[in-house]
Amino acid sequence: MQLEQQETFEITGPQLEVLGRAESKLPAPARKKPVAALALAALALVSVLGIGGVKLRMRYDRTLALYTRTDEYGNGILQDQDAQADAAASLIRLGERILGEQDETVARARNALDGWNASDKQDPAEQYDCNAELYSAVGDLYLAADRAAGEGEAAQLEALYAEFTSRQALIERAAANTYNPAAESYNSAADWFPANLIGALWGVEEAPLFAPGAD
């Protein structure tokens, strides 16, 4: 069969959309046809065969696992956040007794705790936002309740708030020293060609940081 008589291989549907996203990540000189077509065809083959894509996915999964893992003592970012949430719940109940359930600071802290409990425990970026709101709301509640508390209540408030803030310090230190550096390292490596194209073909996204999102 002559070359010009051969059928043309056509990519359609979801695959075409994925390759379109991948093409947008090509270096500018490579976006011109037929260079882009050859590059995408080669990367599609690499992706189908699992060369490169598997390694990228494994590194992505290992990076996110740092956020959810525990050490030999059972400590970890999620575990500290659970302990912090328990302290927040106790402080909120005490604040309700001191200030009343209808107090605005009590209501805000309660809503912030509900938001944290409902957050995706596998999404560091979402949890950061919920954690930041909880920390702010509980801090305001502590200040308001402390002004109105009796001597015995003030001591309870102080103990609960100390536990709450100490957990926050552990969370921030673990994120800053362990998880975020690993996520930033992965994102930097995955942003370079050809890893960025392989990631687009495999649907591997950036690792979310436990940090404020970009505006």
Closest by CA position to 82, among listed 117, 37, 118, 115:
117
pLDDT in tens, 95-147: 999 999 999 999 999 999 999 999 999 999 999 999 999 999 999 999 999 99
More confident residue, 76 or 47: 76
- Per-residue pLDDT at 50 exceeds 70: no
* pTM of the model as a whole: 0.72
Q: What does the pLDDT read at residue 128?
A: 97
- Per-residue pLDDT at 174 exceeds 70: yes
How far, in Å, CA of 111 to CA of 117, rounded?
10
183-192, Cβ contacts within 8 angstroms, sequence gap of 24 or more: 183/63, 183/66, 183/124, 183/207, 183/208, 183/209, 184/209, 186/59, 186/60, 186/63, 189/59, 190/56, 190/60
How far, in Å, CA of 43 to CA of 52, rounded?
10
Q: Provide φ and ψ at 100, rounded to 5°.
A: 100, 150
pLDDT category of residue 149 using cuts at 50, 70 and 90 = very high
Axis crossing angle, helix 124-148 with helix 77-99, rounded to the nearest 10: 30
pLDDT in tens, 188-201: 877 655 555 555 56
How far, in Å, CA of 142 to CA of 119, rounded?
23
Q: Are 40 and 19 in contact (CB under 8 A)?
A: yes
- Per-residue pLDDT at 80 exceeds 90: yes
Question: Each residue of 64-101: b (16+ CB within 10 Å) or e?
Answer: bebbeeeeeeeebbbbbbebbbebbbbbbebbbebbee
Tokens coding 106: 């009590």
pLDDT category of residue 91 using cuts at 50, 70 and 90 = very high
Tokens coding 24: 């947008």
Q: Are 14 and 196 in contact (CB under 8 A)?
A: no
